[in-house]
Amino acid sequence: MRKRKLITLLTVATMSIGILTGCSNNKNDSNNASEETRIVNSAKGEVEIPANPERIVDISGNSEELVVLGYTPVGTSNVDSYNTDSVPAYVQEELGNAKVVGHSMMDTADIESILGLNPDLIIMAPRQEKIYDQLKEIAPVVMLDDEYNDWEAKLMDVADIFDKEEEAQAWLDTYYAKAETIGKEIKTARGEDETYAVLSTDLANGQFYAFTNAGLGTVLKEDLDLKQPENMPGQDSIELPKVTMEGLAEIDADNLIIIGSESDKAELENSSVWNQIRAVKEGNVIFLNQSPHFSQAYNPIGRLLELDTIKEELVK
């Protein structure tokens, strides 16, 4: 009887050891998976980053690109240009839980807040290089090239970090297919040869900023394949060219898309010069609120939504 009891105890002990060993192996496998890394190229050279980062802080302005690729940052500098304490309204659902740690167009960020988020990866831009050494003490840092005016290049640069170029290209293909369809609908509704100019107000200085080769201007010109007036001012940098009220009349667009505030709209409606512009007299003016439309089209989610906005305004 004692012998049988001893055998039973030994069997139970052996099984327990096996279970514990199995648990230990599973735990080690889990740890190994979480500790996997990969080498990526950055503007500062090669960087070793987690293969599957879970706590990304982005101060480069590429948080929407991260969302498109399946990553939700815990910290972001993608803020509304006119409400810099918050992310833009159109992406609140996707980025609402991300802590705002700066403004992506500034050369610094809130280092203390970034540290408190315990990131395992930080993404930054060259304009923030002065804080690079501080950030790399917190977590691996990938510095991207500055592609602010090239939204497609921005998306592909982020995709390259995570080896998700195919996913990014699939998203782009879907976007361009939608843009082509809407562009054709607009031309059918308004004519093939109609011209469109996109400008933002700066009435305090008696002028406008022209989106010739940036932002919403390129949505119409490049993505929707709509014509720009021949007299649009040139743009070869991130800086938007300036246009006076008289210069706007000389551009002589068939359609004007003005980004500004309600007070700007009221001021223009009371301007005798404004009311003599051909597009204004013909009722071909669209006003869009500066928050969030001023910077919305620089980012993929915002750009996709702008297609619907333009369609709603031009196809009636």
pLDDT digits (tens, 9 = 90+) for 229-269: 999 999 888 889 999 999 999 999 999 999 999 999 999 99
Structural domain boundaries of the chain? 37-163, 181-314
Q: What is the pLDDT of residue 237?
A: 81
- pLDDT surpassing 90 at residue 22: no
Helix orientation angle between 151-161 and 300-314, rounded to the nearest 10 degrees: 150
Q: What is the pLDDT of residue 112?
A: 97
- pLDDT surpassing 50 at residue 8: no
Q: What is the pLDDT of residue 164?
A: 97
DSSP element (H, E) containing 246: helix 245-251
Task: Encode burial over 80-91: b for 16+ CB neighbours within 10 A, e otherwise.
Answer: bbeeeeebbebb
> Would you say the CATH fold of 181-314 matches that of 37-163?
yes
Taking only the tens place, the pLDDT of each residue in 66-117 is: 999 999 999 999 999 999 999 999 999 999 899 999 999 999 999 999 999 9
Class of domain 37-163: alpha beta
Mean pLDDT of the chain, nearest integer: 90
- pLDDT surpassing 90 at residue 304: yes
Report pTM: 0.86
CATH number of the structural domain 181-314 = 3.40.50.1980
